[in-house]
Amino acid sequence: MLTLTLHRPEALNALNTALLGELADILDQSAQDDRIAAVVITGSQRAFAAGADIKEMATLDAVGVLQDPRVGYWKRISQFPKPIIAAVNGFALGGGCELAMHADILIAGHQAQFGQPEINLGIIPGAGGTQRLLRAVGKSTAMQMVLTGEPISAQRAYEAGLISEITQAELTLERAQSIARTIARKAPLAVQQAKDVLLKALDMDLATGLQYERKAFTLLAATQDRNEGIQAFMEKRQPLYKGC
């Protein structure tokens, strides 16, 4: 397990180019490290990330937006093959909310707030905020959040399906790390296949999704970890997975 803490306290962890680039680089390295089974991303008690760096954005014209290196960084983050758990406290706004939605599991402190306030700047979310939000919370809530720019509470985010658990703020990171450790004990190939199949389901009809699931199930049937998992179950012991 690897824990990454966003640390730009002077800007409420606003996501500038340097921070996103560093995050993408670390995730790329972690994808190749067999010792890391899952990644936890967190911020501070006051803010997970309060959005994009507005001062930096102000320097970009239309051409600059087209050439913005952050587009590539976001793509690399979205393609990380291992589970990401977001531990969110405080503000998760704009790019911060989008980063949280890049995670596979979201745990939030009871005072967390989620929002896409870009409309207040005459723009719209540009790092997946409209697409992921709509899929997570449905049309009506997504429309209200994006068109008004008003955030929602952790409780409403939970009820809408954006997050999976609410904790006391001081326990959010601990809970996220506990989930990561649980995942780390599972068969690595099965975990990565499960993540891939679940994400693909968002873009497939049911029949195609079921075929994709069956293909992944069949591939895992040929792994040593599958045999070890079944053998350990029958012998009533903990499995020793090797990722093969």
User: Is 108 a residue of the active site?
Assistant: no
> Given this model, what pLDDT does residue 60 score?
66
Q: Are residues 103 and 203 in the same domain?
A: no
**Are residues 192 and 82 located together in one domain of the fold?**
no
Q: What is the mean pLDDT of residues 219-226?
A: 94
Domain annotation covers residue 111: yes
How many domains are contained in the chain?
Answer: 2
Same-domain pairing of 53 and 148: yes
Strand order in the sheet with 84-88: 2-5, 39-42, 84-88, 105-109, 165-167
Looking at residue 62, what is its pLDDT?
A: 63
136/196 same-domain check: no
Question: Does 226 score more than 90 pLDDT?
Answer: yes
Rg of the chain over Cα atoms, rounded to whole angstroms, equals 19
> Annotated catalytic, 52?
yes
Asked whether residue 244 is assigned to any structural domain, the reply reads: no
Is residue 242 in some structural domain? no
- Whether residues 41 and 83 fall in one domain: yes
- Per-residue pLDDT at 69: 83
| Better pLDDT: 53 or 182 | 182
Straight-line distance from the first to the last Cα atom of the chain, in angstroms, rounded to the nearest whole number: 19
45 and 128 in one domain? yes
Q: Of 37, 47, 50, 52, which residue is the catalytic one?
A: 52
In the chain, the amino acid numbered 152 is: I
* The token pair that represents 28 in the structure block: 């790329």
Domain hosting 216: range is: 188-234
Model-wide pTM > 0.75: yes
In a domain, residue 223? The reply is yes
Instruction: Please confirm, yes or no, whether 201 is among the known catalytic residues.
Output: no
pLDDT at 183 over 80: yes
Q: Which residues of 43-59 are buried (b: 16+ CB within 10 A; e: fewer)?
A: bbeebbbbbbbeebbee
pLDDT at 43: 97
**Does 241 map to a domain?**
no
Same domain (yes/no): 75, 40: yes
Give me the chain's average pLDDT, please.
94
Annotated active-site residue in 87, 118, 142, 190:
118
**Has residue 56 got a pLDDT over 90?**
no
- CB count in 10 Å sphere of residue 81: 12
Residue 224, in any domain of the structure: yes
Residues 111 and 12 in one domain: yes
Q: Which of 5, 197, 187, 204 is CA-nearest to residue 87?
A: 5
pLDDT at 181: 97
Query: Residues 74-85: pLDDT tens digits?
Result: 999 999 999 999
32 in the same domain as 97: yes
Q: Are residues 98 and 216 in the same domain?
A: no
152 in a domain, yes or no?
yes
Q: Which of 95, 96, 115, 229 is catalytic?
A: 95
Average pLDDT over residues 111-123: 96
The confidence score (pLDDT) of residue 68 equals 77
118/212 same-domain check: no
Active site residue 95: yes
